């Protein structure tokens, strides 16, 4: 079994801005900068033969370059926040790409995603942070923004089965721009 998900990678300039958010909240378990990403579709634990089908399906997803904007901070968990995130401004190209991932995974035979898609970059896990502290932090950082960046590819990642997931391993990028030079 292998735990898989697809995501957009975060370039260095935006990752640097995200890393600056990672202070001022005692008890937060900050995500490693190298593990910042914008999830498109979480597949979960799949058998190796299904992973091969996933690879084939992902290779067929068309993608045109588009811009991504990070803005604001928020949480998942409501009255008991467990995750702190930086927001990703929804755009039509992002909505279409995520929808293509969902459709491709259904064709492979995976169960439909039941949660509404909320694009974000996880910044911290909050298991040891009070609700009041979490919301105070969010209020103090709600004007967060990072430079707009262009994405040209999406990435298939694998993750170890643990709380918080990382470190993540890049399995493959799509579309695959690598080519063999002719001699």
The answer to whether 82 and 129 have CB atoms below 8 angstroms apart is: no
- Sequence length of the chain is 183
CA distance 145 to 45: 33
Residue 146: phi and psi, rounded to 5, are: -125, 160
Phi then psi dihedrals of residue 59, to 5 deg: -65, -25
Q: Is 37 a catalytic residue?
A: yes
* Annotated catalytic residue, options 82, 101, 120, 128: 120
DSSP conformational letter for 20:
H
Write the DSSP string, 64-132.
--EEE-EEEEEEESTTS--EEEEEE---HHHHHHHHHHHHHHHHHTPPPP-SPP--EEEEEE-TTS-HH
Omega before residue 167 within 30° of 0, cis: yes
Q: Catalytic residue among 37, 82, 101, 128, which? A: 37
Known catalytic residue at 101: no
**Which positions are catalytic?**
37, 120
């Amino acid at each position: 079994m292998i735990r898989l998900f697809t995501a957009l990678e975060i370039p260095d300039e935006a990752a640097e801005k995200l890393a600056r958010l990672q202070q001022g909240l005692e008890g937060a378990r900050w995500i490693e900068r190298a593990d910042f990403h914008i999830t498109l579709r979480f597949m979960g634990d799949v058998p190796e033969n299904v992973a091969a089908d996933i690879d084939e399906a992902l290779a067929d997803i068309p993608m045109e370059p588009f811009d991504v904007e990070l803005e604001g901070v928020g949480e998942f968990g409501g009255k008991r926040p467990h995750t702190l995130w930086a927001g990703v401004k929804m755009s039509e190209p992002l909505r279409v790409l995520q929808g293509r991932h969902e459709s491709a995974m259904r064709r492979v035979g995976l169960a439909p995603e039941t949660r509404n898609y909320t694009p974000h970059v996880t910044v911290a896990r909050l298991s040891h942070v009070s609700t009041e502290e979490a919301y105070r932090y969010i209020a103090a950082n709600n004007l967060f923004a990072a430079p707009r960046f262009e994405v040209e590819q999406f990435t298939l990642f694998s993750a170890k089965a643990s709380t918080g997931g990382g470190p993540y391993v890049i399995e493959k990028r799509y579309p695959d721009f690598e080519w063999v030079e002719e001699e």
